[in-house]
Structure 1
Amino acid sequence: MTETLAVLGMTLLVVLAGCGGFAGPGDQPSPSTDVAEPTDSGGPETGTAWIVTVTRVIDGDTIEVVFPNGETDTVRLLGVDTPETSHGSVTPDEFEGIPDTAAGRDHLYTWGQNAAQYATETLAGETVRIETDERADRRGGFGRLLAYVYLDGENVNERLLANGYARLYDSQFTMRDTFRDAERDARDGAVGLWGFEASSGSAPASIAGLSGVAFVSPSRHLRVTSASLPRHLHVDPHGSPTSLGGLGLCYLRGNRAVFAWPDSSDV
C-alpha cells in the first residue's frame, strides 16, 4: 500500500510539473525580438541613444531636448538640411534646381518656415528616441549633438526628406543611401520645396490661363494636363512656349511643364 501511494505521488508530481510549465535547463524562454535598443539614463556626453523630451523646436532640423538626467542640449537632425528661416540666410546654391533669384530666395524662405512649422507640429512637447551614429561626427560645427530622431518608431530625419522639407546633407553616416533615395523620390515628384515654379516671367500672348496654362487657338478645342518636368529639360526663363514636335505646345514654369494639344474630336 505504501509503495502504491509513493508511485501515485510521483506520478502526480510529474503531471503537475507538466501543467505548471516547469522549465528544465534547456527550456529557457526565447528573447523577445520587439525589445528596443537599450537607451542611456544619463546625459548627452555618455551613451549613444536616449529617450528625451523635446522642449523647443528651433527650426526645421534643430531641436532642444531634456535628457533623462535633467540636462538640456541642442540636437541637429543628422543627414538633413532644411532651408533657413531668415530670408537673408537662405542658400539657393545648396538646393539644386532652385535659382539664386528673388523668386528662388522667396521660395526657400517660405519652405524654411514650412519646415519649422512641420517640425513644431510633429515634435514639440513629444517624448522621442534620439540616437547618434558611430560613422558620423558626434557633434557638428556649432557644437550641436548630431542624431537621428525617432517618433513612434519612425525616423523623422527621413520623413523631412520624403515630404520635401529638406535636402540631403552630404556627409558620412550610416543611413546616407536611404536618405539619398528619399530625397531623389521627393525631387522627381516635385514634392515640397522641389516644386519650385518660376514666377518672374508672364505667359506670352498665345498662352492663356486655363487650369494653369493652355495654348490658345481660335480653331481648335484644347485639353490641358500638367506633369512633372523631366529633369533633363531646362526652364525657359522668358516663359515662351516650346514645340513638342507637332503634337502640341509645352509651357515651362520652374520644374513643372503644362502640355496642350488639340482635342481628338477636332483633329
Structure 2
Amino acid sequence: MRVRRGLVGLVAVLALAGCAGAPVPVTDGDSPTADLDSPPADPTGIDPNDPDDTAWTGTVVRVVDGDTMEVEFPNGEVDTVRLLGVDTPETSAESTSPDEFEGIPETDAGRAHLRAWGAEASAFAESELAGEEVTVVTGGDRRGGYGRLLAVLYVDGEDFNERLLTEGYARLYDTEFAKRDAYAAAEADARERGVGLWKFNESDYPTEASEVDDEDLPPLPDDGDYDCGDFDTQAQANAVLDRSPDDPHDLDADGDGEACESLPRYEVGAAALPVSP
C-alpha cells in the first residue's frame, strides 16, 4: 500500500529476496517511455527485467493486497507488481494512517474504517484479478524502492488502477506519473459521490456497550450461556456484561470490567460497506 522508501528498507528487501531464491530485479538504466493511456494491442515483452520492454501480457498468480499482485510473465518468471498511482488502505492497525486519506478522522473509528476498507480492497482485487490474464504497462520509473514493478494493470482493456479510484477502494498516491490528472479526477468524483472508503460515518463503529441495542445482540444459546465466540465485537460482549454485572457467563475472565478482550472493538455497519456493482 504505502510505498516506504529508504536505503535501509531497500537493502533489507533485496537481501530477503536473495535468501528466498527470487531473482534480484534490474533497477539501473533508463526504461523507454510507455503510453499508459491505453494497453498495447499486442504486448511483445517477454522478460520483466528487459530494459527495452514496457508492456507484457501475464497472469495474476497471487493477490497480495488491494494494490499489489504477483504476475507470471511469458518467460515463466513471477514478479511483484505495485499498481502505479494508487494506494489502498492498510489492513493492520499499526500501519493505518487516516491522515493520508482526506476527510477520514485520526480516531479509532477512522482507523477501523480504513482497515475495513483495506480488507474490502484486497477482496475486490482477489475477485477481479486472481487467475486473470492482464496487460502490465510500466512508466519511466520501472521499479520502486522495494524493487517491485510500478505499473498500470489492464484487464480486458480496462485500467484496473483507475477503477480502484472510481469505486472508492483507493486514494491517489502522491507522486508524479503520466496519468495523474485522470486519476485525480477519478478520485475527486468518488469523493464527491461518497462511495467506498469516502463514505465515513462515526456511528457505523459502535465502541461502547451503551451504544449496543438489544436487537444488536446475538440470540442467547440454547444452553442459556454466552461465551466470547458468540459475539462479533467486544462492544456486544460488554453490553451483556453491563446488563448482568455479576457476570454469570464468565465473559470478564480477569475481572477488569472488560469482557472478551480478544474480540475486535469495532464492527463496520452495513452503510459503510461497498455496494456490489
Q: Which category of TM-score, normalised to the shorter sequence, fits these structures?
A: 0.5 to 0.7
Residue of structure 2 in register with 1:182 after alignment: 186
Q: Is the 8 A contact 1:44 1:67 kept in 2?
A: no
Taking structure 2 as the reference length, the TM-score comes to 0.58
Cα separation, 1, equivalents of 2:122 and 2:43: 30
Residue of structure 1 in register with 2:115 after alignment: 109
Task: Say which of 46, 51, 54 aligns to 1:41.
Answer: 46
How far is the alpha carbon of 1:142 from its aligned partner?
1.4
Q: Deviations over 1:141-168 (max 9, x none)?
A: 2111100000000000000000000000
> Secondary structure of the residue that 1:74 maps to in structure 2?
strand
Equivalences for residues 1-267 of structure 1 within 5 A: 36-46=41-51, 47-134=53-140, 137-199=141-203
> Secondary structure of the residue that 2:142 maps to in structure 1?
coil
For 1:92, give the aligned amino acid. Answer: P
* Two-structure CA RMSD over aligned residues (Å): 2.0
Residue of structure 1 in register with 2:275 after alignment: none
Greater fraction helix: 2
Greater shift in the superposed pair: 87-96 or 51-60: 87-96
How far is the alpha carbon of 1:140 from its aligned partner?
1.1
- Structure 2 residue runs of 5 or longer lacking an equivalent are 1-38, 207-270, 272-277
- Structure 1 residue runs of 5 or longer lacking an equivalent are 1-33, 203-255, 257-267
Q: Is the 8 A contact 1:64 1:72 kept in 2?
A: yes
Displaced runs of 4 or more, over 4 A: none
Number of matched pairs = 168
Larger relative contact order (CA 8 Å, sep ≥ 6): 2
> Secondary structure of the residue that 1:85 maps to in structure 2?
coil
For 1:75, give the aligned amino acid. Answer: V
